[in-house]
Amino acid sequence: MFRYLVRRLLLALPSLLAISVVLFGVLALAPGDPFSDLATDPSIPSSVAAALRTKFGLDDPLPIRYLHWLAAMLHGDWGFSFASRINVSTLILQRLPTTLAVIGASQILALAIAVPVGVYAGVRPYSIFDQIASSLALIGFSLPPFFTGLVFILVFSVSLRWLPFVYRTDIGGSGLTLYWAYIRQAIMPVAVLGLFQGAAWTRFVRASVLDVARLDYVTTARAKGLSERVVVTKHIVRNALIPVVTLVALQMPIIFGGAIITEQIFRVPGIGSLLISAILANDTPVIMAVTFVFACLVILFNLIADLLYGWLDPRISYR
Amino acid sequence: MAGSTPASPTADVAAVVRPTQGRRVTPAREAWRRFRRHRLALGSAAILSAMILALLLGPLIWPVPINAIDFAAQLQGPSLAHPLGSDDLGQDLLARMIYGGRISMSVGIAATLVAVIVGVVIGAIAGTARSAIDMGLMWLCDLFLSLPQLPLLLLIIYLFEASLRKVVGQQFGTFILIVAVIGGFRWMSIARLVRAQFFSLREKEFVEAARALGASTFRQVVHHILPNAVSPVIVAGTIEVANAIIAESTLSFLGLGFPPDIPSWGRILYDAKDYLDVAPHWALVAGGAIFLAVMTINYIGDGLRDALDPRRVI
């Protein structure tokens, strides 16, 4: 197990390096650079601009610039935000917990919907419940999160006035009222993201249960006289959820995309909304760092899924 | 098991019985017969065709300019003069929705074409070549799958938009860039599908027969393997159109897709979101159109999957 973990970690490193090359490549190929404004500024002589470029290594060959950048990133020197005048790493560390909390809560909601509904529909294929659940799942996964978010705001904030639609971090009060205020403002972002993912996963779970339910060992379990409940929970679900883990891991980039949109709609102060505001403010160091953090998170969750996969399915040996 | 009975015998019988009447059962005709059985897919196909027809003929029937500003008719609900209402500048929403639908649909189709072409080529090369090239291409595929797509899309558009616009012009530049990046990030699943199909097909007897007759690798691939690998690609491609429409709307909704003078559906929704309380019809019309297009395409994809899978008896 330990050796597998080490090997898997070593395999994740080249992917991280490749992603950093892609990111750096995109940035290097793009026209313009942080000092391009200097060239057009008449108050700065061209010799000063050239000296600045040499000092910061902008005229070095690409591979050397890449190595400098990589070394700085590894040292934790992620640069300095042009817009908010603080270190990028501080900024990201402030914002990351909110994003992870919203994503985590929505994934729990998605699983709480998808597993029971998917299993029930998959065990009774083409029943009325299955038809209704499948239609709702297809509708839910055709509704883009940005539209659901707006409809939620329209219904629950504008019409009914039940929930606030701007996420605040400076809520006063203490104790239970404070917690309640936090939960209330998180309901809509979590629900938007969770329902969208839940709809997609319901389809996966249903298809997977449908595949497993007609295998011979399930018939054997029924023939032994086991109750339907035991057959479903102990025999079908355990095996049906194994491929779902992989699919969930493959969906990770989409989930982060959804989180960016949800954070933007509800003004949740996470790294997704940080990315959008950085792009709108031309804040290159922040854009690079946030994209890289998203890439690391995707790889981390893929790694976790791989480990889970081996734990859930003993037939996969850790070699 | 009923599910594994091949459907081909019936098709063959029909083909033998009827050729004199001039009604040969082509694969397309057979697929259409099976597709019609899926009621929701058929209904979706009807709705989607109606939408596309409306988008194509719309400007002829409703020749209102999309940018005629009328401050007397700001943020009005649906009326005779403006069937879908008007926006904050009093521009007619119906005309803007027709224009936006043309943009959104063409982006969806063009981006899917990019994804399918790249995916089929890479999948075919990986499926034909042995070991090293296959491994390299699949590593590339895995790398693309683990890239955070939306942040990278936003990054690329932010970095390259201005310069591309200078080269090919304001409207066309954004269009090409958006189609290229959406398509360029969506070929992976198609490449994997094609590769898997190639692995099973290239060992089949008919390919071996072609090889024995001296067919070159290129001929084997193009004439024998590819035509048989096409149906899962059609299904995946159909669903990709829906995904590409969502991707374009997402970019425009974040304010980083099309500029305000080219109102795609996502852009209209982005403009509408600040007026939710006073003019909810504006956001609902744009979002509803995206939803309807995406849902009907998904249903059609489901129907095609049933229709094109020969192991399913319908």
Each domain of chain B, given as residue ranges in start order, spans: 34-62+86-307
**Last-in-domain residue among A74, A98, A118:** A74
Q: Which residue of A has its CA nearest to B279?
A: A154
Question: CA A118 to CA A200: how far, in whole Å?
Answer: 10
User: What is the 3-state secondary structure of chain B?
Assistant: CHHHCCCHHHHHHHHHHCHHHCCCCCHHHHHHHHHCCCHHHHHHHHHHHHHHHHHHHHHHHCCCCCCCCCHHHCCCCCCCCCCCCECCCCCEHHHHHHHHHHHHHHHHHHHHHHHHHHHHHHHHHHHHCCHHHHHHHHHHHHHHHCCCHHHHHHHHHHHHHHHHHHHHCHHHHHHHHHHHHHHHCCCHHHHHHHHHHHHHHCCCHHHHHHHHCCCCHHHHHHHHHHHHHHHHHHHHHHHHHHHHHHHHHHHHHCCCCCCCCCCCHHHHHHHHHHHCCCCHHHHHHHHHHHHHHHHHHHHHHHHHHHHHCCCCCC
Would A159 be classed as within a structural domain? Answer: yes
Q: Which residues of B touch A17 (CB under 8 A)?
A: none
* Closest chain A C-alpha to B291 CA, distance in angstroms: 5
Q: What is the pLDDT of residues B77-114, one digit of tens each?
A: 677 666 767 776 767 778 888 888 888 899 999 999 99
Q: What is the pLDDT of residues B153-197, one digit of tens each?
A: 888 887 777 777 777 666 677 888 888 888 988 888 889 888 888
> Smallest Cβ distance to B143: which of A15, A139, A250?
A15
Least confident of A205-209, A221-225, B31-35, B293-297: B31-35
Q: What is the pLDDT of residues A271-314, one digit of tens each?
A: 888 888 888 877 777 888 888 888 888 888 888 887 777 777 77
Q: Which residue of A has its CA nearest to B301?
A: A138
Please give the pLDDT value at position B58: 78
Average pLDDT in the B116-128 region? 89
Would A192 be classed as within a structural domain? Answer: yes
Would A80 be classed as within a structural domain? Answer: no
Please give the pLDDT value at position B170: 66
Interface test with B, best of A103, A132, A150 (most B CBs within 10 A): A150
- pLDDT at residue B235 is higher than 60: yes
- Homologous superfamily (CATH) for B34-62+86-307: MetI-like (1.10.3720.10)
Residues A235 and A93 in one domain: yes
pLDDT band at B119 (very low <50, low <70, confident <90, very high): very high
Please give the pLDDT value at position B285: 84
Would A5 be classed as within a structural domain? Answer: no
Residues A67 and A93 in one domain: no
Element holding A47 (H helix, E strand): helix A46-55
Residues A194 and A145 in one domain: yes
* Closest chain B C-alpha to A220 CA, distance in angstroms: 17
Domain limits for position A44: 15-74
Residues A230 and A294 in one domain: yes
Average pLDDT in the B267-286 region? 81
Would the CA dihedral through A237, A242, A244, A248 be positive or negative?
A: positive
A275/B269 Cβ within 8 A: no
Residues A121 and A270 in one domain: yes
Average pLDDT in the A126-148 region? 87
Q: What is the pLDDT of residues B12-71, one digit of tens each?
A: 444 444 444 556 777 778 778 888 877 888 888 888 888 888 888 877 777 777 776 766
Task: Map tokens 């995707």 to a residue.
Answer: A298
A287/B158 Cβ within 8 A: yes
Average pLDDT in the A161-167 region? 73
Least confident of A224-228, B142-146, B205-209, B308-312: B308-312
Q: Mean pLDDT of all residues in chain B? A: 80
Question: CA A202 to CA A211: how far, in whole Å?
Answer: 14
pLDDT > 70 in chain B, percent: 84
- pLDDT at residue B305 is higher than 60: yes
Would A8 be classed as within a structural domain? Answer: no
Q: Which residues of B touch A158 (CB under 8 A)?
A: 276-277, 280
Please give the pLDDT value at position A176: 72
Q: Which residues of B touch A22 (CB under 8 A)?
A: 143, 147, 152
B298/A138 Cβ within 8 A: yes
pLDDT band at B221 (very low <50, low <70, confident <90, very high): confident
Would A317 be classed as within a structural domain? Answer: no
Question: What is the tally of structural domains in chain A?
Answer: 2
At A181, list the tokens: 């205020």
Q: For chain B, give the number of residues.
A: 314
Least confident of A18-22, A82-86, B186-190, B299-303: A82-86
- pLDDT at residue A233 is higher than 70: yes
- pLDDT at residue B212 is higher than 50: yes
Amino acid at A268: V
**Last-in-domain residue among A5, A39, A74:** A74
Q: Which residues of B touch A279 (CB under 8 A)?
A: 154-155, 158, 256
Residues A65 and A119 in one domain: no
Please give the pLDDT value at position B5: 40
Please give the pLDDT value at position B81: 67
Q: Which residues of B touch A250 (CB under 8 A)?
A: 145
Please give the pLDDT value at position B74: 67
Please give the pLDDT value at position B112: 93
Q: Mean pLDDT of all residues in chain A? A: 81
Please give the pLDDT value at position A299: 83
Please give the pLDDT value at position B8: 43
pLDDT > 70 in chain A, percent: 89
Would A69 be classed as within a structural domain? Answer: yes
A143/B276 Cβ within 8 A: no
Question: CA A256 to CA A100: how far, in whole Å?
Answer: 10
Residues A124 and A63 in one domain: no
Interface test with B, best of A26, A146, A154 (most B CBs within 10 A): A146
pLDDT band at B2 (very low <50, low <70, confident <90, very high): very low
Would A179 be classed as within a structural domain? Answer: yes
At A278, list the tokens: 């950085």
Q: Which residue of B has its CA nearest to A15?
A: B143
Which one is predicted more confidently, A72 or B125?
B125
A15/B151 Cβ within 8 A: no
* Closest chain B C-alpha to A196 CA, distance in angstroms: 13
Question: CA B89 to CA B72: how far, in whole Å?
Answer: 9
Q: What is the pLDDT of residues A234-278, one digit of tens each?
A: 888 888 888 888 788 778 888 888 888 888 888 888 888 888 888
- pLDDT at residue B198 is higher than 50: yes
Q: Which residue of B has its CA nearest to A18?
A: B143
ipTM for the predicted complex comes to 0.80
- Helix and strand tally (H, E) in chain A? 14, 0
Q: Which residues of A touch B246 (CB under 8 A)?
A: 144
